A = this chain, B = another copy of it.
Amino acid sequence: MPYAHYVKPGSTVKLKDLDPSGHGGLEKEEADFRRHEMGQRVEEMQELMYAANMNSLLLVLQGCDTSGKDGSIKSILSYVNVQSCRVASFKQPTHLEASHDFLWRAHEQVPALGGMTIFNRSHYEDVLVVRVHDLVSKQVCKKRYEQINHFEELLADSGTIIVKFFLHISKDEQEKRLLAREEDADKSWKLSVGDWSERELWKDYQKAFTDALEACSTDCAPWYVVPANHKWFRDLAIMEALETTLKPYRQTWHEHLKEVGVERKKELEAYRQKNNIKT
């Protein structure tokens, strides 16, 4: 059983039945060890992907405040080549962004061939926060699920590998994390009334997440629900899903690069011979 819950396309999602405190029967030490092993394999595959230049990787992270998006990104980035990986954060849209369709700013940020982009929040905000605050009708929201699916299919058809993670924490865990922020005097600039007022809408958010997960988990762009109360388990679950996602491409990239390498070696030898360069 994979550590993260794979949302099978077309299936229903019951967040209540998915334990945010899940830890796969592991303790932190063992989990860290496994994550590190997976991380090294992911690192190797991302390097191959970059070099082969045949695919790109789009990783989407969603979750409520304090669910650990930043921490997850830090964990992922410690294993990938940051040269070919970018993080795109989606905040309140700028005036220019809001003057376009909701996918415009996301499209601008998708990875080029060989590259990897992590979306810290994403185009899904436009079926989450705006829905919870009644800024769009249910009908518009439904239409947007479709538009998202078409958009992600377009990317996939052009070689983008897509994987999406919902960081699942409990309401109690969120309170604990928010209060911890207050205890650190050096961090009090981070405090925000918004964090607490959004908590009042917890149920609405869970419903909005559920609907998006159900409507937009597709074969080419699946959602995973990640138990995220334990940070170390969250990081392990994400790394495992990443490895699972990239593995089917490994052989193709590797073989392609072998061919390129033979070609390059020939060129270099010809150049040396011609210019009489000895090494």
Chain B residues contacting A189 (CB-CB under 8 Å) are: 51, 257-258, 260-261, 264
Separation of A87 and B81 alpha carbons in the complex (Å): 11
Copies of the protein in its oligomer: 2
Within 8 A of B (CB), among A29-86: 51, 70, 73-74, 77-78, 81-83, 86
A267 touches B188 (CB 8 A): no
Q: Which residue of B87, B193, B258, B265 contacts A191 across the interface (Cβ within 8 Å)?
A: B265
Chain B residues contacting A191 (CB-CB under 8 Å) are: 261, 264-265, 267-268
- Interface residues, chain A, with chain B CB atoms under 8 Å away: 51, 70, 73-74, 77-78, 81-83, 86-87, 89, 120, 175, 179, 182, 185-193, 196-197, 257-258, 260-262, 264-265, 267-268, 271-272, 277, 279
CB<8 Å pairs between A and B, sample of 23: A51-B190, A74-B82, A77-B82, A78-B78, A82-B87, A83-B120, A86-B87, A179-B279, A182-B265, A182-B268, A186-B257, A186-B261, A187-B261, A188-B264, A188-B265, A189-B257, A189-B264, A191-B264, A192-B268, A193-B271, A196-B268, A196-B271, A196-B272
